Amino acid sequence: MTNSYTVFEDLGVNDYKDTWDYQEKLFNEVVDVKLHNRDNPNDPQTITNHLLFVEHPHVYTLGKSGVQNNLLINEQFLKQINATFYKINRGGDITYHGPGQIVGYPILDLEALELQVKSYIDKLEEAIIQTLAEYGVKSERLDGATGVWIDTKVPGKSRKICAIGVKASRYVSMHGFALNVNTDLNYFNHINPCGFVDKGVTSLEKELGRKVDLQEVKDILLKKLSEIFHLQLNK
């Protein structure tokens, strides 16, 4: 197995397009090293994985399999609510990113981690589930849908607290997850989140009835991700 380590960066509040461009740059670097190692087995280079945390200004993103009609507002209204919109190259449908939400972008060599895409997503979900459990919030997976949900067995009550949409090429991942912590949930009223019209959205703040220390959640989540993926972190 090729040596690898993971660089963690918290980008703070950062523009969506700028972060997407940065992801693409890091992704291409990982792929280039993998191709080098494939073609030069006697001269392997160390693969540098990346894990980015970021908060975005208000933005809606539509995955490559998504339906634009799931954005329920026009360009003029987008401007009124200080939001932007991008069609992007991850899987999944439409979602919202904004302040008070932890967005995570793991750029990982899944091959070196001996993971298929499905098991990779399962582990992302597990890290979120374990993080929420630290706050006494019971969450779970929902059959037929990615992400992390609450009350999936209660009719009319199931609600998503974390969206997941990834891209993987040459077994390198990008894009990732969005965990609602202190998120303004009103922004979800302008979309059919992830294409669903019959399910709600929630946040850690809403579930607990109080604001939550965002940095504390980041610290717990980083610990869970590093444990579950067995990441050797370089901060």
- List active site positions: 194
3-state per-residue secondary structure call for the chain: CCCEEEEEEEEEECCHHHHHHHHHHHHHHHHHHHHHHHHCCCCCCCEEEEEEEEECCCEEEECCCCCHHHECCCHHHHHHCCCEEEECCCCCCEEEECCCEEEEEEECECCCCCCCHHHHHHHHHHHHHHHHHCCCCCCEEECCEEEEEECCCCCCCCEEEEEEEEEEECCEEEEEEEEECCCCHHHHHHECHHHCCCCEECCHHHHHCCCCCHHHHHHHHHHHHHHHHCCCEEC
